[in-house]
Amino acid sequence: MSHTIREKAKLLARVRRLKGQMEAVERALEAESPCGEVLQLLASIRGALSGLTGEVIEDHLHEHVLHAEDEKARAKATDELAEVLRTYIR
């Protein structure tokens, strides 16, 4: 069973919190809140998303690289992670 399935409830809870934070930005913009408040909300979202991303990457490393079934699976997981990191760094 994949780590994203095993940790599904926890990961979905984090995604739902992120959605709530995005809705808070929308409400702040609709209410014409000061830009400082909007920036603080955006910084919180970025931190939460980075935390979620880091958790999934760490679990991916442990399950699909460190404990891979064989070298072919390890190479595939490594390539997947490298591609994600290239996109993430841009």
In the chain, what's the furthest Cα-to-Cα distance?
55
CA distance 44 to 22: 10
State mean pLDDT over 48-66: 93
Q: Is the pLDDT of residue 49 over 80?
A: yes
CA distance 30 to 62: 43
* Residue 23 structure tokens: 């809705």
CA distance 83 to 9: 26
CA distance 25 to 68: 40
Share of the chain above pLDDT 70, in %: 99
Say what the pTM is: 0.84
Looking at residue 90, its pLDDT comes to 85
pLDDT band at 1 (very low <50, low <70, confident <90, very high): low
